[in-house]
Amino acid sequence: MLVVRRVKNTLLRCFQCNAMTTCIAVAFIITIGMVLVSKPEFMDEAIDGFVPFSRMDLTTKRDGPFYPSCVNTQDYLLDPSYTKQNASFIMLTRNEELEDVIKTINSIEEHFNQWFHYPYVFLNDVPFEKQFKATVKAAIVGADVEFGTISEVSWNFPSNVKETFEFHNAIEDQGDRGVLYGNMESYHKMCRFYSGLFYKHPLMQKFEWYWRLEPDVEFFCDITYDPFWEMHQNGKKYGFSIIIPELYWTVPNLFRYTKSFIRHQGVKLGSLWKLFTKDYHIFESDDAELQDWINNGADSKAKVSEKIAIKQLLKKGNEAQKINDDKEGIMNLINKARSKKHIVEDKFFGEEYNLCHFWSNFEIARLNVFDNEIYNSFFQYLEESGGFWKERWGDAPVHSIGLSLTLDLDDVHYFRDIGYRHSTIQHCPRNAVESDVFSYVTEDPRFKRKNTAYDEGRNYGCGCRCICPKYKREIEDSSGFCINIWINLLNEERGHERQDEVLDGNEMERLVREDYLKEFGN
């Protein structure tokens, strides 16, 4: 198992406390705070013996970077075995975001697409202006560009919902409660569209793969191979670059509806499910009450001991003297009478959503991981629940949980070698030791580089010609809780992924009874 640093421990303690929601909020604030705090690079070294994830080799037998360093792109493209995939970039944007759109295009073109020339699809809820289209086309050289308008049905909530008092009241209430973006109707629309409708747009239906982009995105490393081809070759279906916890109050009932869908549809879950859930089935026993009472391993022995002590006390029947002498049994009986059963408010059928999710503004995936019977039914079930407006369900947790209904861990790839920033969150890998073994060769004069000083290559690095911001905290370290679960699951034996050890309650009860009788007798 990997060593878990302070942030992860803080989060875990929060998951075990009674005030679950408060703890998650606090933990996420800590995560975001650490992302925003400027820190010199040397402070990412080991602290109190804990080595940050960003300084570790996270490669497992089941997943790791497709290449440990740069590849010779020119030779790669000429390899007879290489086949360009039926894939496209997709960006949902608006006319007024043109400056940020061009910023993203310039970055992805310089670091990847000037060599591979994959097409772009731009979508908007209103028609794109002529100037927008002309400027975008001028910024993209050697790749096709298509502009599409989202239909009213796909973009807006149904009229029988949108025109109700309940709809507007729910949106305003979320703003009053400080739910991030909760009072922005357009944000709810965007989340709903990306959750279950983007892949049905006619322009997207022509492709098998997509790479999602956003306005105002930066790439920090060169991507010298074709991610679509490598995913195809390695049997991967979905790729991410960042995994973080969600804000609790955006999705308080998402998991409840998910569990209801699974139960009604009889869905057979993929092993990816374990990445996003806390499993409380950790104590197998013939005693149903005891099994339900114990939610974590630390409580198990104490509760079993309590049961044995009380059981032995009650066996004494009406023998008053023996009962009075059994102080151990009496104290356990009193403690049980005073204790309250620990209730996990968000536990449904023995499981709870741990709030981890793939940050979906970066995705490289097959369209059919969403465009299939189970995921489409799942989205429709969520749509009918009203959660996209009653709450502020983001497409990231919906995608993540929805994918885990059908995918296994081995279907997913962590693009650790792709440096990426959007908004205030970023991931930037360490350069491989020999990351500059192949010199940068531009195919577009706009992206010529002069005297570029790339980051120094480091042990366990996997980036290619990366230039990482020096004073930004790496998301692998500031949000280590989720990445730790990912790595731990991948290190488990295939088909036996589980975060918590299942305790044999019957065997534990037998051993505790033997010890009790040795010490206190019959």
Structural domain spans, the chain? 6-277+349-478, 281-343+505-520
pLDDT range class, residue 472, cuts 50, 70, 90 = confident
**Three-state DSSP class for residue 414:** strand
Interval 41-90: pLDDT, tens? 434 455 555 789 999 999 999 999 999 899 999 999 999 999 999 999 99
As a whole number of Å, the end-to-end CA separation of the chain is: 43
Q: How far is CA 84 from the centre of its chain?
A: 28
Tell me what pLDDT residue 332 has: 63
Which two structure tokens, joined as six digits, stand for 326? 């059994």
Which two structure tokens, joined as six digits, stand for 268? 């057979």
Residue 466 phi, psi (nearest 5): -80, 145
Instruction: Name the catalytic one among 306, 363, 391, 474.
Output: 363
Record the pTM.
Answer: 0.81
Angstrom CA distances, 54 to 57, 154, 187, 222, 417, stand at 8, 40, 32, 18, 11
Q: How far is CA 43 from the centre of its chain?
A: 26
**Closest among 456, 401, 450, 452 to 430, alpha carbons compared:** 456
Tell me what pLDDT residue 9 has: 41
Q: Which residues pair with 394 in a beta bridge?
A: none
Which range of 8-22, 237-251, 446-460, 487-501 scores highest in mean pLDDT? It is 237-251
What would be the CATH architecture of the domain defined by 6-277+349-478? Alpha-Beta Complex (3.90)
**Three-state DSSP class for residue 341:** coil
Q: Is 317 left (phi over 0), alpha (psi -120 to 50) or beta?
A: left
Look at 184 and 492; give whichever has higher pLDDT: 184
- DSSP output for 125-184: SSPPPHHHHHHHHHH--SS-EEEEE--HHHHSPPHHHHTSHHHHHHHHHHHHTT-TTTT-
Tell me what pLDDT residue 433 has: 86
DSSP 348: B
**Closest among 310, 355, 301, 351 to 329, alpha carbons compared:** 310
The alpha carbon dihedral of 280, 284, 285, 286 has a sign of positive
Q: How far is CA 387 from the centre of its chain?
A: 19
Strand 283-284 to strand 503-504: parallel, antiparallel, or no bridges (unpaired)?
parallel
Tell me what pLDDT residue 362 has: 97
Q: How far is CA 125 from the centre of its chain?
A: 27
328 belongs to the catalytic site: no
pLDDT range class, residue 40, cuts 50, 70, 90 = very low
Query: Please, are residues 209 and 87 in contact by the beta-carbon 8 Å criterion?
Result: yes
